[in-house]
Amino acid sequence: MSVAVGVDLGGTKIAVGVVDADGAVRSESRRETPDGPDAVVAAIADAVAELGDEARGRPVGIGAAGFVDAARKRVLFAPNLQWTDVPLAGQLSDRLGTPVILENDANAAAWAEARFGAGVDADSMVLVTVGTGIGGGIVLDGRLVRGGFGVAGEFGHLPLVADGRPCGCGRSGCWEQYASGTALTRAARDLVAGGASGALATAAGGNPEALEGTDVSDAAAAGDPAALELLADLGRWLGRGLAAVAAVLDPGVVVIGGGVAGNGDRLLEPARAEFRRRLPAAGHRPEAEIRVARLGSAAGLVGAADLAREAAT
């Protein structure tokens, strides 16, 4: 059974694992993310060595949070790492003496969900990750779509609201300003600051800025009406953006991942209803099924390894 090494490179942690051809993680090692590319290369190499003979000499795929070039060699821009134009794949390949490819982490996760997860039965699938922001990846006709410059799938910056909320990308009205974990937290804090009572006010303890998205999720799970409505509103914004994505890409399945997806149907039922309402020619065309991701936090690592295995064959 052929195996490859997958790396999930984030702003705070690095996960390195040996992944088999069925997408199963056979062994794993973790490190905190150090400062600077050289230190990151050393940390990954150390983790690969820790995994032993099963990892040694295997192709390596890195899923990194940021823009990756079309050749899968360079990190063009990674704000969480404070990197610009870093030839990470070549540096690690020189260190390990094995083939290394680089991929955006959401693209890697999309590939994993298409190959082994919630989209395994669909030739065309879109992954939308809903966390601090909105990310995603596109698999059409069984192929990962990376775009002309390698940076396709940045769904969070679809402009949904003219002259809307300012976004960190430098524009305004972007989807992730209305349908992300950050948007959920903002709405909860505004609600409590406005004098709302109930479970959210209790969780805030007199300080609305102390509220987090998890507080909303916990309150909604306990049946708090205000928290349930906040999730429903987030779901409606999610569905609105999904309709725009479907109008362009026509996926058979939309997979929702990221931390906010843990709210399940409290989020997704409003999203599905709004998706149907906003979808062009609804009722006269097939409708994508909206599902929850299956692979969780392992998706980026698994997808990166599988892409490395594919590139090496």
Domain containing residue 218: 120-293
Identify the band that residue 53 occupies on the pLDDT scale cut at 50, 70 and 90.
very high
Q: What is the pLDDT of residue 279?
A: 94
Does 190 share its domain with 302?
no
Compute the residue count for the chain: 313
What is the spatial distance between Cα 214 and Cα 111, in angstroms, rounded to a whole number?
28
Q: What is the pLDDT of residue 11?
A: 87
Number of domains in the chain: 2
Identify the band that residue 99 occupies on the pLDDT scale cut at 50, 70 and 90.
very high
Is the pLDDT at 272 greater than 90, yes or no?
yes
Identify the band that residue 1 occupies on the pLDDT scale cut at 50, 70 and 90.
low
Does 241 share its domain with 200?
yes
Q: What is the DSSP string of 34-59?
A: -SSHHHHHHHHHHHHHHHGGGTTT--
Does 137 share its domain with 286?
yes
Does 271 share its domain with 257?
yes
25, 308 Cβ separation under 8 angstroms: no
Does 216 share its domain with 188?
yes
Does 100 share its domain with 205?
no
Does 164 share its domain with 193?
yes
CA distances from 162 to 141, 145, 181 (A): 33, 28, 21
Per-residue tokens: 267: 């989020």
Does 105 share its domain with 141?
no
Does 57 share its domain with 170?
no
- pLDDT mean over 137-150: 94
Q: List the 143-145 sheet strands across, edge first.
A: 143-145, 134-140, 125-130, 253-257, 289-292
What is the spatial distance between Cα 312 and Cα 33, in angstroms, rounded to a whole number?
27
Does 148 share its domain with 91?
no
Per-residue tokens: 136: 């995603």
Does 57 share its domain with 43?
yes
Does 185 share its domain with 284?
yes
Identify the band that residue 103 occupies on the pLDDT scale cut at 50, 70 and 90.
very high
CATH number at residue 219: 3.30.420.40
